Amino acid sequence: MNGNKRVAVVTGGSRGIGRAVAERLAADGQAVAVAYGSDDTAARETVLAIEKAGGEAVAVRADVADEEAVRALFDAAEHQYGGVDVVVNAAGIMRLSPLAELELDVLDRIHRTNVRGTFVVNREAARRVRSGGAIVNFSTTVTRLSLPAYAAYAASKAAVEAIGPILAKELRGRDITVNAVAPGPTATELFLDGKSEEQVRQIAGLSPMGRLGTPEDIAEVVSSLAGPARWINGQTVYVNGGAA
């Protein structure tokens, strides 16, 4: 492969927004390591879709909260493509419950993936990403909307938002940007699961655009942060069609 090609690691890259991001970065000309948690079939489908479109990709199974697995993920990307320039941490889980009814083991699972996972992936990225690179984490617009039943999830994502500006300063002098993307309601399997058509219509109405976002809407912003948008650093970018 071309030694000048940028290389991206995308966690949560086999489904939903993560897959759209992986496909968009590949279309932008980056080689992509598609990291996934458990769905081998979905990961293979993502890689095949990228290759069919003329891109380069490899699937790597990794638990983002496991430091050894994340280290192996970065090793695989470096072995396959020669280095890492972009890290997009799209892996995350969401469980909804009123706070008074929340089981603490559910809280622990959310925070293990969303908070510890972000720390583990960002720590490895800070050690490996090459000059001129970018780190993009995922938050949520729910931190602004304050919707009932989202307390545990929103709290985990508020922690993600706190990480970026600090890491951006810690990487001073290395020409590496660190930002977070905070999607609004987006038409993914994760979001639509368990919601009635009426609920979906009501939530879509939060945006003056009158619709849900699409994974491609989010991927477009990630593409900019992962490439040309070098003067955006230490920020959370809300991508929600004006919902909040």
DSSP state of 211: S
CA distance 88 to 122: 9
CA distance 139 to 107: 17
Whether residue 1 is predicted with pLDDT greater than 50 in this model: the reply is no
Averaged pLDDT score across all residues of the chain: 95
Give the pTM.
0.95
- List pLDDT tens digits, range 130-167: 999 999 999 999 999 998 999 999 999 999 999 999 99
Spell out the residues 6+ positions from residue 174 whose beta carbon is closer than 8 angstroms to its own. 131
- List pLDDT tens digits, range 9-47: 999 999 999 999 999 999 999 999 999 999 999 999 999
Nearest residue to 139 via CA among 150, 126, 123, 128:
150
CA distance 24 to 192: 22
Order across the sheet with 7-11: list the strands: 57-61, 31-36, 7-11, 86-89, 134-138, 177-183, 236-239
- List pLDDT tens digits, range 193-211: 778 889 889 889 989 999 9
Distances (CA, A) of 119 to 29, 83, 166, 167, 178: 28, 20, 12, 10, 13
Q: How high is the pLDDT of residue 193?
A: 79
Q: In what helix (H) or strand (E) does residue 169 lie, and over which residues does it extend?
A: helix 151-170
Give me the mean pLDDT over the 58-83 stretch. Answer: 98
Angle at the Cα of 63 (from 136 to 178), degrees rounded to 5?
15
Residues annotated as part of the active site: 153
CA distance 35 to 172: 27
Rg from Cα positions in the chain: 17
**Is residue 137 classed as helix, strand or coil in its secondary structure?**
strand
Confidence of residue 3 (pLDDT cuts 50, 70, 90): low
Q: Which fold has domain 7-238?
A: Rossmann fold (3.40.50)
CA torsion sign, 177 to 31 to 115 to 215?
A: positive
